[in-house]
Amino acid sequence: MKIRFVIAWSGLLLILARFLTWSSGVMGGPVEYLMERAILPCPKCGGEGEDYFETGMELMQVIRCEECGYFGEQAWDDLPKAIYLWNAAR
């Protein structure tokens, strides 16, 4: 039950972050803070996740654990989707 609540809460933060990104021309501001708050702990070790960019032929967004180095699934140029995939790996 607690896991579902935490995943639901992070989902709401992602929705709010997407809205603020969309309306950044009007409001500007705290999108990065909300994105960081929406990243749940690592599903493998419980460490803190951070956003990570991979470049090559395309720009890929992925969340990586600072502790164990575990990578979530990649999302092409879409950080909110990468955060969703990371949180859904539980």
Query: DSSP labels for 7-27?
Result: HHHHHHHHHHHHHHHHTTTTS
pTM score, two decimals? 0.60
List pLDDT tens digits, range 23-78.
665 544 555 666 667 888 888 888 888 888 776 667 888 888 989 989 888 888 77
Residues 58/72, Cβ–Cβ less than 8 Å: no
pLDDT surpasses 70 at 7? no
CB of 39 closer than 8 Å to CB of 16: no
Confidence band (pLDDT; 50, 70, 90) for 9? Answer: confident
CA 4 and chain centroid, separation: 17
Chain-centroid distance of CA 33 in Å reads: 11
Output 31 or 80, whichever has higher pLDDT: 80
Under a CB-based contact definition with an 8 Å cutoff, are residues 38 and 12 in contact? no
Top pLDDT among 60 and 3 is at 60
Per-residue confidence (pLDDT) for residue 85, from 0 to 100: 87
Radius of gyration of the chain (CA): 13
